[in-house]
């Protein structure tokens, strides 16, 4: 198939899913064109030697947003729609798969109209805050709803997000659940010494990976860590960048956590900080799926996190981690300390999470699900009205 993909290129789950799906589709023989204002950081090619032999290809097209003295806010949505039209015409795309509804879905619907009579199907994947925060904001609600109902197919990354979408956007359309996925081989443990590189002895090492947006509650990660560290020496690795990052760094200093909190910033290979860690901390206030938690599971690391949104669909409480209400920080401290103290439990839950990641969230399963959505969207878009 000839597929266009649009996403945010920044450090975040939706961009990771879009980039890795694009690589996986190309590796299976499809022609994939990624359209965004910068190259998504996980968009690597060729992914493996086998991928090139499958005959697929992967291309990146940059959206240029021209400024003009009149524009206080340059219209990215229009520049994106224009680029979609250009790429779709030149490469005869059959389908545009957009990740994150705002504004990508509306740009794709607009592009489809401009491309007529050339047919192109629009598939929108909802990731979370495009519905739960941004999409339901009065400034964007109507356009988000329009982009969703005008898409030929809509998917959500969890059942929880599907339910929230139908309720918060008050839409009456099919929303199919296609859970996120992980290439478990990438997290298999070759990243040795992994997280233990930052340990000075055999002390526990905790990890948090996020885009440091307020929903991730990175300051609460520090509070959990501080309480566990009061009981025994341990380390905390913080991976990623974002709005709360500076605040977290400052707070770590104020709390006197010194060299026990290691700020790693954005890592090209996140597995280097995950493999070998004691537990992954994710006390988010909302999480439609929790891709970072799934990657920790793939690395064999148990998760201590919030029982919110789609998290229970990923992390089985009491089997590959512990999920607690977001406000129950004491409970999270107890869970993290349990993993630090009980090696057998830590290993058992880590192995169970890895097994679940391999068996339930494989790349193959997700690619098959998306290809079937694509076929149906193409059929729907070319059906007579």
* Number of neighbours of residue 262 by Cβ within 10 angstroms: 18
Q: How far is the CB of 322 from ligand GMT (least distance, A)?
A: 18
Binding of residue 36 to ligand GMT (CB under 6 A): no
Binding of residue 290 to ligand GMT (CB under 6 A): yes
Q: How far is the CB of 291 from ligand GMT (least distance, A)?
A: 3
Binding of residue 213 to ligand GMT (CB under 6 A): yes
> Which one, 17 or 191, has the nearer CB to ligand GMT?
17
Binding of residue 283 to ligand GMT (CB under 6 A): no
**Of the candidates 3, 5, 17, 182, which one interacts with ligand GMT according to CB under 6 A?**
17
Binding of residue 14 to ligand GMT (CB under 6 A): yes
Query: 240's torsion region: left (phi>0), alpha (psi -120 to 50) or beta?
Result: left
Alpha-carbon distances, residue 191 vs 142, 158, 260, 359 (angstroms): 46, 29, 21, 21
Residue 193: is the preceding peptide bond cis (ω within 30°)? Answer: yes
Site for ligand GMT in 110-149 (CB under 6 A): 127-129
> Which residues make beta-bridge pairs with 2?
31
> Which one, 57 or 186, has the nearer CB to ligand GMT?
186
> Which one, 311 or 337, has the nearer CB to ligand GMT?
311
Sheet holding 153-156, edge to edge: 57-62, 31-36, 2-6, 95-99, 121-126, 153-156, 175-177
Q: For residues 248 and 219, give the distance between their C-alpha atoms in angstroms, rounded to a whole number.
A: 6
C-beta separation of 13 from 127 below 8 A: yes
**Of the candidates 5, 108, 291, 323, which one interacts with ligand GMT according to CB under 6 A?**
291
- Count of residues in the chain: 385
> Which one, 121 or 131, has the nearer CB to ligand GMT?
131
**Residues lying near ligand GMT in the complex (CB under 6 A):** 8, 12-15, 17, 127-129, 157, 180, 211, 213, 215, 286-291
């Amino acid at each position: 198939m000839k597929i266009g993909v649009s996403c945010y290129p920044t450090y975040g789950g939706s961009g990771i899913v879009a980039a890795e799906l694009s690589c996986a589709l190309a590796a299976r023989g499809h022609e994939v064109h990624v359209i965004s204002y910068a190259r998504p950081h996980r968009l690597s090619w060729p992914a493996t030697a086998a991928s090139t032999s499958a005959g697929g290809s992967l291309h990146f097209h940059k959206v240029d947003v021209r400024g003009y003295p009149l524009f206080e806010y340059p219209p990215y949505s229009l520049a994106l729609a224009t680029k979609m039209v250009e790429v779709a015409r030149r490469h005869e795309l059959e389908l545009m798969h957009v990740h994150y509804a705002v504004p990508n879905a509306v740009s794709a619907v607009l592009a489809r109209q401009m491309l007529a009579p050339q047919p192109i199907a629009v598939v929108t994947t909802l990731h979370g805050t495009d519905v739960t925060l941004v999409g339901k904001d009065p400034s964007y609600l109507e356009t988000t709803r329009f982009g969703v109902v005008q898409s030929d197919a809509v998917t959500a990354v969890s059942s929880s997000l599907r339910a929230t979408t139908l309720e918060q956007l008050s839409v009456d359309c099919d929303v199919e659940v296609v859970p996120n996925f992980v290439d478990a081989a990438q997290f298999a443990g070759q990243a040795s010494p992994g997280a233990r590189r930052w340990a000075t002895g055999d002390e526990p090492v905790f990890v948090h990976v996020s885009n440091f947006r307020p929903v991730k509650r990175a300051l609460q990660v520090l509070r959990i860590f501080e309480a566990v560290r009061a009981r025994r020496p341990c380390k905390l690795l913080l991976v990623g960048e974002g709005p709360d990052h500076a605040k977290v760094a400052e707070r770590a200093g104020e709390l006197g956590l010194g060299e026990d909190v290691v700020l790693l910033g954005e890592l090209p290979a996140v597995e280097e900080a995950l493999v070998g860690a004691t537990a992954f901390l994710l006390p988010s206030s909302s999480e439609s799926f929790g891709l970072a938690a799934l990657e920790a599971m793939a690395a064999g690391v148990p998760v201590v996190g919030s029982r919110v949104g789609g998290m229970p669909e990923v992390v089985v409480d009491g089997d590959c981690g512990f999920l607690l209400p977001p406000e129950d920080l004491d409970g999270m401290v107890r869970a993290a300390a349990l993993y630090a103290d009980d090696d057998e439990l830590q290993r058992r839950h880590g192995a169970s999470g890895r097994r679940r990641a391999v068996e339930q969230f494989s790349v193959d399963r997700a690619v098959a699900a998306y290809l079937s959505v694509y076929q149906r969207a193409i059929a729907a878009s070319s059906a007579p009205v």
